[in-house]
Amino acid sequence: MIRSIATHTVTFVAACVLAITVVGCTPAPQRITEATAITKLAVMPLIHADNSARQGKEVQQVLDCQLSSMCNFDQTPLSHAEQVMTTQLSEHLADYFGDAIMPQAVVNQHFVTMKPGKEETAREMGIRLARELGADHVMIGLIWRFQQRNGDSVSSNSPASVAFNLYLLEVASGKLLWQGQADRTQEALSDNLFNASMLFHYGMKWLTAEELSDYCIQKALTTLPTALSQPD
């Protein structure tokens, strides 16, 4: 059955926006408290992995799984989901770290020339990429699902759905500084209604996968530790 937009009163909108918070885009707890200066951050292009590879694993465990066990790895060219979400992540990180973010075109160009080792993990490849580019930190992302809606903004048979993990690492030590994740499907148009920021950005509509991923990336990054900063 095709789902369609329902009308709601202004009073109901205001009450729901205040009463209900979004779920499914909640990042993992912050992992550092000491001040850490980021001078050069490389955003490794996100890798579209097999959703089944994360089943039964903690978020951090997936970072150290062999890439060959998670995906049919082929960097050239990046898939639509990889291109879109990498750009979104890089642009939103610039709001936090400004000029410390390396030009994404430079990172992408280098990434597609790399050949992953037979047993190389996402952590190892991200650190190798960052070292080759002279970065002191690297952001790694794994896309588990990027499902486009079936329909339009007014009615949809099947809503957009996205899932991903994000990891920020210090290159010198390989230490994980922060991790975020999202696993979200737009359940109903009330998702927009029930969340102030989603309602403000998109109104009452069925989102595209690109819109949903952008929203969830923004939400994930809001809990980057305040101890992370650019050098004075």
- 4-19 residue pLDDT tens: 434 333 333 333 332 2
Average pLDDT over residues 179-195: 80
Residue 100 has pLDDT above 80, yes or no: yes
Share of the chain above pLDDT 70, in %: 75
Average pLDDT over residues 34-45: 89
Higher pLDDT, residue 20 or 227 = 227
Please write the tens of the pLDDT for every residue from 122-153.
999 999 999 999 999 999 999 999 999 988 88
Share of the chain above pLDDT 90, in %: 51
What's the rounded Cα separation, in Å, for the pair 48 and 46?
Answer: 7
Higher pLDDT, residue 196 or 148 = 148
Residue 6: its pLDDT value, please?
A: 40
In order of their start, the domains of the chain are: 25-186+204-229 (3.40.50.10610)
Residue 8: its pLDDT value, please?
A: 38
SS3 of residue 177 by DSSP: strand
Identify the band that residue 229 occupies on the pLDDT scale cut at 50, 70 and 90.
low
**How large is the C-alpha radius of gyration of the chain?**
18
What's the rounded Cα separation, in Å, for the pair 164 and 194?
Answer: 23
163 Cβ neighbours under 8 A, 6+ residues apart: 51, 143, 144, 145, 181, 182, 183, 184
Please measure the distance between the N-terminal and C-terminal CA atoms of the chain and give it in whole angstroms. 57
CA distances from 32 to 111, 186, 199 (A): 28, 32, 32
What's the rounded Cα separation, in Å, for the pair 111 and 104?
Answer: 10
Please write the tens of the pLDDT for every residue from 162-177.
999 999 999 999 999 9
Identify the band that residue 27 occupies on the pLDDT scale cut at 50, 70 and 90.
very low
196 Cβ neighbours under 8 A, 6+ residues apart: 17, 18
Residue 26: its pLDDT value, please?
A: 39
Identify the band that residue 115 occupies on the pLDDT scale cut at 50, 70 and 90.
confident
Residue 199 has pLDDT above 70, yes or no: yes
Phi, psi for 75 (deg, rounded to 5): -80, -15
Please write the tens of the pLDDT for every residue from 54-80.
665 566 778 888 887 776 666 568 899
